[in-house]
Amino acid sequence: MSTLTGRRPAPYRPSGLTWTVLRLHRTALYVWGAALLAAVAALIWLLAVGPDARAIVGGCDASDPFPMDCGTARWTTTARTYATGLALVSACVTFQMYAVAVWAGAALTGRELESGTARLAWTQSVTPARWLATRLAVPAVLLTAGTTLAVLLGNWTRRAGRGDLSGGWFNANVFISSGPVAVAYALAGLALGALAGLVLRRALPAAAAALAAAVVLHEVLDGFRMSLWPAVTTTGRAALHVPYGSMLLEHGSVTADGERVNTSLACVGTDGSALEACIRRGPWTDFWSTYQPQSHYWPLQLVESGLLLAVAGLAVAAAFALLRRRLA
């Protein structure tokens, strides 16, 4: 028919609720996509200079009784650039939760409820539940894919160079940006922001409330992270030489009456006859230390991710319940 009438067929234009969400929030999509591309480009460049940073800095002393961050000697421009770049990317991945929460509260739900756009959509064969589900599902998929890419590429970069130059595995930014907990933080921020928008129905107050909720959640988990999995406690000479790469939580001495004294550094780093002489000079009979070994990285990651996903799930359930209640 188009041949007979001389008209060309109309070009295909994407439609549907998913496309509407992408088009409506295309500015946020462009900004987030540009940030992701910048992070990927930076990580690829750091991946190339990683071996040079490893060779320049050299190894760490595995006999250090309380190893924290290593690679502090022989700093050069290459090593500093590598460490700074990796730390910046790690911080961006870690704190993207805040930006996601603010955007979700202000633009994803709050602004549409404030302007009446949401109610207009509900009158055009789009149910409120479908409207909310699409607004949560589309950014959730994009955040999961993009954050996973940044995490995998970041871990590859750390293995190629010296990731511990920007902090040990227990460093907050390193821990969050190197595992599945990064995705869980992003999804939690999305859910909290969407809930804040539905509760307040105004863009600016919802953005402030979402940011406050995200900060509180981040700080609480940061404070209790090393308590999410049972730590290891050792006594005797092993307490003076915890495994390399461990996060030391507490250490001290045991007095003659069995009392544990915290923060006592007596006899640390000594062994053999020097240790025996040190014990005789002081009022202590033994030593103890509590630490999280590097082998607990994955249990801690999984437990924290589970808590964050539980928070996200509760926030989403509350959002749907609130939406149904207001429309009842």
- Round to whole Å and give the CA distance between 256 and 138: 63
Q: What is the pLDDT of residue 173?
A: 92
Closest CA to 199 of 279, 105, 295: 105
Could you tell me the residue ranges of all domains in the chain? 32-228+297-327, 232-296
pLDDT of residue 235: 79
Please name the amino acid found at residue 261.
V
Q: What's the pLDDT tens digit per position in 79-118? A: 777 888 888 999 999 999 999 999 999 998 988 888 888 7
pLDDT of residue 62: 42
The answer, yes or no, to whether residue 57 has pLDDT greater than 80, is no
Cβ-contact 174, 90 below 8 angstroms: yes
Q: What are the backbone angles phi and psi of residue 102, rounded to the nearest 5°?
A: -65, -45
- Helices 77-103 and 128-160, packing angle to 10 deg: 170
* pLDDT average, residue stretch 59-88: 60
Residues 6+ apart with CB under 8 A from 222: 172
Q: What is the pTM of this model?
A: 0.84
